[in-house]
Amino acid sequence: MAAGDGQRRDVAPLTGIAYQGCGRRRWPWADGRGRLLLHEEFPMTADGSGKLWPVDKLTALRLGRRLVTEVPGAGPGRRAFVEIRPVETDTDAAVRRQGWTRADRNRTFRLTHRDYDADQLDGFDYDIGAILVRAATVAGEAQLLAAIEAWSLRPEQFLHPWQTDDPR
C-alpha cells in the first residue's frame, strides 16, 4: 500500500500492521508502548521493558544454549568469564531425546563468574587455579536482565561460546 509521503509501506499478513519497507522484509512486533520493533531489536520481555537483546542471543537463551562474555581478570596472568547457562528441565531432556529443541520464555538461568589462570586455559586442566568469583540463579528473562545489569554487564556483550576463549 502506498503512503502519503511517497515511501512504500507494506502490511504484515495476519496482523494488518503497516511497516516501512526497506528492501528486505522485516516483520514488526509491538513492544507494549505503542512502538513497533523490527526483528533486529526483539524485546527481552513480553512487555518490552528493559534493554533489548540481540535476537540471535535471545533465541539461544530461549532454546537452552549458553552465552559467555570475557570480563577483566583478578590480576596479571588471569582471565575471567561470565557465563549464562539455562537450567535444563525434565521437559527439555525428553524433547532432546526425541531429537528436538524446545524454546521457553520462562527458563531459569545460572550465572557464573569464574577467574582462571591464563596459562592453564589451553590445556585439559583449565580448572587448576580457577576461582568461582560469584554465582546466581534467576528465574525468568526479566530477572536475568536485572542480574547482569547488577553485575555491570550489558546484553550485547554476551557471545556464543565458540566466539570466546571460555574453556568450559
Instruction: Break the chain into its structural domains and give their ranges.
Output: 9-41, 55-162
pTM of the predicted model over 0.85 = no
**For residue 95, is pLDDT > 60?**
yes
- Angle value at C-alpha 34, between 32 and 37, nearest 5 degrees: 75
User: Positive or negative, the Cα torsion across 50, 53, 59, 60?
Assistant: negative
Residue matched to cell numbers 525468568:
140
Q: How far apart are CA 55 and CA 53, in angstroms?
A: 6
With cut-offs at 50, 70 and 90, classify the pLDDT of residue 128. confident
With cut-offs at 50, 70 and 90, classify the pLDDT of residue 51. low
User: What DSSP designation does 133 have?
Assistant: E
Q: How far apart are CA 5 and CA 115, in angstroms?
A: 56
Side-chain-side CA neighbours of residue 76 (13 Å): 0
Please give the average per-residue pLDDT across 21-49, as a whole number: 44
Phi, psi of 9 (to 5 degrees): -130, 140
Cβ pair 39, 31 in contact under 8 A: no
Residues near 132 by beta carbon (within 8 Å), at least 6 away in sequence: 112, 113, 114
* Each residue's pLDDT tens digit, 136-165: 999 999 999 999 999 999 999 999 999 998
Using a pLDDT cut of 70, give the percent of the chain over it. Answer: 70
